[in-house]
């Protein structure tokens, strides 16, 4: 069965961020992921995860000034130095929490060669740097309905970036929610790209709520992913439609 990780940036929204680790453990999760931990000290984030008894499996690289609308800087020319500083900051947080993989957020930009080349350069750098410290780099296509103007929008484009970077330590983060919106054909795409996928995430479409609230047949899809032999994590990065624990009925078989 797929191994589920609670995304504590989206689950348990009624709680303060640092209290969500214990809530995830009480709900039956043994592993967690989160988006951006940088508002809290690295040691405190790591301590709260350890005290809750959950392992951290993923978080994102810094993504620029999100308060000003930025959604990543990896594809932005002129920001390479800032990107590299962000890689070092992310490594600090990942080391503290024993997190083995980091996700790179491309950013908002036109679809042109200059932004593609900058993303490739930064992916190449980050993959090599993370390889030096025993961590994996991921890149994630994101749908343009949720994030209009995002640069990296599909699995084929992401594979083009990975191929151009030419680094064995860079992988695809395949988010079922984003890819259902942008391209569909989830089962065959996952099967075809499985060797390139380093992490997966889920949420139903269109509301980005838990499985069973929308159009995706998760009973089929999760069984298919399991049959393919996927050994990685499936992050539950969704916004609960109601009570988080009540909404986890779909996951009980995977959390037992």
Catalytic residues: 140, 237
Dmax (CA) for the chain in angstroms is 48
Nearest to 187 by CA among 157, 153, 230: 230
- Give the span between the Cα atoms of 116 and 106, in whole angstroms: 10
Tell which phi-psi region holds residue 200, choosing left (phi > 0), alpha (psi between -120 and 50) or beta.
Answer: beta
The pair of structure tokens assigned to 15 is 């709680």
- Give the span between the Cα atoms of 213 and 210, in whole angstroms: 6
Look at the alpha carbons of 237, 137, 196, 148 in this order and tell me if their dihedral is positive or negative. Answer: positive
């Amino acid at each position: 069965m797929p191994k589920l990780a609670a995304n504590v940036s989206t689950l348990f929204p009624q709680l303060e961020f640092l209290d969500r680790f214990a809530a995830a453990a009480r709900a039956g999760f043994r592993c967690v992921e989160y988006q951006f931990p940088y508002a809290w000290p690295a040691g405190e984030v790591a301590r709260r995860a350890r005290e809750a008894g959950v392992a951290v499996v993923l978080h994102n690289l810094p993504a620029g000034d999100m308060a000003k609308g930025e959604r990543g800087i990896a594809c932005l020319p002129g920001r390479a130095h800032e990107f590299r500083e962000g890689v070092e900051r992310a490594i600090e947080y990942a080391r503290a929490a024993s997190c083995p993989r980091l996700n790179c957020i491309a950013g908002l930009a036109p679809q042109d060669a200059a932004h593609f080349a900058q993303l490739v350069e930064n992916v190449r750098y980050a993959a090599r740097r993370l390889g030096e410290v025993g961590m994996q780099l991921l890149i994630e296509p994101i749908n343009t309905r949720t994030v209009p103007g995002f640069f990296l929008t599909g699995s084929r484009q992401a594979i083009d970036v990975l191929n151009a970077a030419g680094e064995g330590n860079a992988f695809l983060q395949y988010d079922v929610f984003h890819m259902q919106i942008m391209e569909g054909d989830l089962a065959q795409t996952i099967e075809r790209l499985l060797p390139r996928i380093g992490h997966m995430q889920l949420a139903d479409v269109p509301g980005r709520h838990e499985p069973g609230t929308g159009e995706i047949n998760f009973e089929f899809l999760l069984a298919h992913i399991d049959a393919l032999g996927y050994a990685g994590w499936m992050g539950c990065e969704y916004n609960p439609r109601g009570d988080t624990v009540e909404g986890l009925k779909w996951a009980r078989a995977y959390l037992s």
